[in-house]
A and B are shown apart, each in its own frame.
Chain A
Amino acid sequence: MNIEPADDLIERIAAVSVALPADPLDVDEAIHAGTRRRQRRRVAVTVTSACAAVLAVAGSVYAFRSFYQRADLITAGPKLAASVVTADQLAGRWIGVDVNAHDISSWRDASGLPANIIIGADRAADTWRANRYCGPLVAGTFAVKADGSFTFEPPAPSFQSCPMTTSVAPDLPDAIARTVQVEVDPVGSDPRTLRFLNGAGQPIASWREDMTIRSAASWCHTAVDAQAVYTGIFTTVEEVRAKAATSFPDVPGGAVAVYCTTVEQSATVTYAVTAGGKKAKL
């Protein structure tokens, strides 16, 4: 029986090699999260300092008044969240947090993407796309009714053969199909949360806004050139491939891309660019 001396074990730990699965790390998201965190810290410091100064200088009367004013603002929050939602407010990519009370935040599809729904891609405000464990995205439309309720149109059920997996894939089309009402946090409360509710107002699914698309202008600058302009239209790699089949050969079809335009040799040229800095000329 082999008994390894400690030095050998230490060398083996130091040199341990693990084959890494698909890399889902999103550096843009990390930068956004870090920036938000830094801003929150600054605001907290500023607010704390301001409150201390107010308390010290103005005395208890002002302090109580500011307290009541702040209380009014807080109670206004839910009213804003429950106000009428428009399709434009839902545009973007939303990362799944939970579905049917199950935490799906750590679930990944075969290409390493989290469960997500993309609304309003290609400037079609009433369309949605969602991923499943493998295969193309599932797509459908939705409608906003006058009373603020929502009707999602799911696609016809289709079978997709996938490799064996030990985790159960969340059924996003089913969650979408059962939704009759949507609530979304007001603009400015980044990252916003989108909630799907059933007819009884009970939660079906919740989603966190993917903030990466907000830096699409910098994607254009990084991947194309400093003069490149973001057209304001985002799409999926799948859609880009439908236009130019050889585009992004090693990027998952469910990944988000944006359109950028620039001028090359006096002609306007359009590129599709991904968050990872890959570009495809269209």
Chain B
Amino acid sequence: MRNNRAEADFREWVLQNRARLRTTAFLLCGDWFLADDLVQDTLGRLFSRWHKVVSSGDPSAYVNRILHNLYADHRRRPARREISEAEVDASSLTTTATPGERDDDLVRALLAVPQGQRTVLILRFFEDLSVTQTADLLNTSAGNIKSQTSRGLKALRCALMEQQNASEGAL
């Protein structure tokens, strides 16, 4: 009975959060196939600790941690890293049709930001975590998160400007 209830709660939570989870994963890695694999693994791990996670509050923080750790593990594997970086250029953006040109530009610019800074930007602003929460999740200091945020925003602005220059040059 308890398990059925847990399953039902878990399904409901996934239903409400799957789109956001997939988007976060995609913004982290820039590849839909990998993003969906990461989210699938994340959900498995989340369910294995569902009772504990739910009793300690909102599962989102735990999920962000698993997702980030799984992606970090993936990047540490040289063969897989090579595949995913190749896919960022070729397939992922073609399969990502964003609704507005403005968002499309932003996604492309975000994917051009160095990985560490991009992760911080996504966690801070897309996932709306505080500096302390982000530092805790990434196991680093608050000062480092602040500097990564600043550098990330600068890199993002540069990437957007480069896109803008390229599109003006094309015209």
Contacts of A167 in B (CB 8 A): 91
Q: Is A29 in contact with chain B by the CB < 8 A criterion?
A: yes
Q: Are B99 and A17 in contact (CB under 8 A)?
A: yes
B156 at the interface (CB under 8 A from A): yes
Q: How far is the CB of A41 from chain B (nearest CB, A)?
A: 7
Max chain A C-beta neighbours (<10 A), residue from B40, B49, B83:
B40
Contacting residues, chain A, for B41 (C-beta < 8 A): 33
Name the interface residues of B129-171: CB closer than 8 Å to any CB of A.
Answer: 153, 156-157, 160-161, 164-165
Nearest-neighbour CB distance to chain A for B87, whole angstroms, equals 8
Q: Quick one: which of A10, A23, A31, A34 contacts B22, CB cutoff 8 A? A: A23
Contact of A14 among B11, B99, B102, B128 (CB under 8 A): B128
B55 on the interface (CB 8 Å rule)? Answer: no
Sample of 17 A–B contacts (CB below 8 Å): A4-B157, A13-B121, A18-B107, A19-B98, A23-B22, A23-B36, A25-B18, A25-B22, A25-B36, A33-B45, A33-B48, A35-B48, A37-B48, A41-B48, A106-B34, A106-B37, A166-B90
The 8 A CB mask of B92-132 against A (1 = contact, 0 = none) is 00111111101100110010000000000110011010000
Q: How far is the CA of A25 from the CA of B37 in the complex (A)?
A: 8
Interface residues on B, range: 35 or more
> In the complex, are the beta carbons of A13 and B33 less than 8 A apart?
no
> 5 closest Cβ contacts across the A-B interface?
A34-B47, A33-B44, A30-B43, A37-B48, A34-B48
Could you say which of B7, B40, B121, B156 contacts A29, with CB atoms under 8 Å apart? B40
- Compute how far the CA of A119 lies from the CA of B44 in the bound complex, rounded to whole angstroms: 25
Shortest CB-to-CB span from B69 to chain A, Å, is 14
- Which of A9, A26, A37 contacts B40 (CB under 8 A)? A26
Given contacts A13-B126, A14-B125, A34-B49, 8 further A-B contacts (CB under 8 A): A17-B99, A18-B26, A19-B96, A19-B99, A25-B22, A32-B44, A41-B48, A165-B91
Interface status of A2 (Cβ within 8 A of chain B): yes
Q: Is A74 an interface residue (CB 8 A)?
A: no
Cβ contact within 8 Å between B90 and A27: no
Min Cβ gap A44→B in Å is: 13
B164 contacts A18, C-beta separation under 8 Å:
no
Number of chain A residues close to chain B: CB under 8 A: 39
Docked Cα-Cα span, A151 to B94, in Å, equals: 40
Cβ-closest chain A residue relative to B47: A34
Nearest-CB residue, chain B, relative to A10? B125
B28 at interface (Cβ–Cβ under 8 A)? Answer: no
**Interface residue? B71 (CB, 8 A):** no
Is residue B14 contacting chain A, with contact meaning CB distance below 8 A?
A: yes
Inter-chain contact B43/A25, CB cutoff 8 Å: yes
Within 8 A of B (CB), among A109-158: none
For the complex formed, measure the closest distance between the CB of A39 and the CB atoms of chain B, giving whole angstroms: 9
Please report the C-alpha to C-alpha distance between residue A33 and residue B44 in the assembled complex, in whole angstroms: 5
Nearest-neighbor residue (CB-CB) of A17 within chain B: B103
Residue ID in chain B nearest A215 by CB atoms: B7
Is the pair B14, A30 in contact by a Cβ cutoff of 8 Å? yes
Residues in chain B near residue A20, CB distance under 8 A: 19, 22-23
B37: chain A residues within 8 A (beta carbon): 105-106
- Complex interface bits, A15-57 against B, C-beta within 8 A gives 1, otherwise 0: 0111111011111011111110110010000000000000000
Pairwise interchain contact B126-A166, C-beta atoms closer than 8 A: no
